[in-house]
Amino acid sequence: MFNLAIPEMLFEKVEIDGVPGYEVVVCTPEPGPITTTGGLTLEVPLGLEALRGADTVLIAGTGHRYLPDPRTVDAVREAATQGLRIASICSGAFVLAEAGLLDGRSATTYWQLTQELRLRYPALDVQGDVLYVQDGQVMTSSGYAAGIDLCLHMIRTDYGAAAANTVARLALVAPVRPGGQTQFTQTPLPPERGTACADTRGWAMRHLDEPLTLTDLARHAGISVRTLTRRFHAESGMSPLQWLLHQRIERAKELLETTTLPMDRVARACGLGTADSLRQHVVRRTGLTPSGYRAQFSRLATA
């Protein structure tokens, strides 16, 4: 149920210039009542023919990972041959693997299933300790809440960082996280409150234009640098400085999308210092120069 709810929860919140950014359709090989692993029954009226009008096909996790439905496998394989974007959440990766879409690609799934996926499909490069992987047109995510990270990544890819961050705020989930972040965190999606470093993270987000150090963060949290580092990693899966750099780059991308500020001012506003530093980090994260990123994702050009 959770796997199936994630795409609708996030994609349906995307609005671009007052127009929905996505239409989410649920389909199944056998239309009609579907019993979920939680014991509830869903009524799914559409069959796999619904894929014919799709741009993206997303396979939700299922309890039947060992024997993927051949009809679903064939439909996903056909969608891939037509150039559609293909993605999976949790054990949905087994359907993609059965369709041969992961052969020679990097992929992931829920950490308890990675060894099984690796043994069943040896042609895969299984990444066992990441949130999600994009390899060409195919994307896979690990279990449960990592599907949220994958969907936000897709929204950011389609519509930019500002749109993805808006959806994250509306859904009350963490901002877009990099796919290479570890699965093994005590709180995979830390809330804004209720964790030891939540207030310090919020404070840091309001002061990204300042040269924050580990000492500054620890002082705000009222703990030692060592304790801060340990708690920060437990809550977010990153070191404090890794998290801070990620947030600076996300802020830079949002400013590139939503303002016409010169590059040196963008760099200062997000704490990256200089235009050269901004360029280095944006190219490394997106493959585009800051000006190229602005040209591709700016909402001002279409306003």
Model pLDDT for residues 212-236, shown as the tens digit of each residue: 999 999 999 999 999 999 988 887 7
pLDDT of residue 170: 84
pTM, rounded to two decimals: 0.69
Structure tokens at 247: 């947030």
pLDDT of residue 83: 93
Q: Are the CB atoms for 302 and 17 separated by under 8 Å?
A: yes
CA-based Rg of the chain, rounded to a whole angstrom? 20
pLDDT of residue 133: 93
Residue 261: Cβ-neighbour burial (10 angstroms; 0-12, 13-18, 19+): middle
pLDDT of residue 176: 61
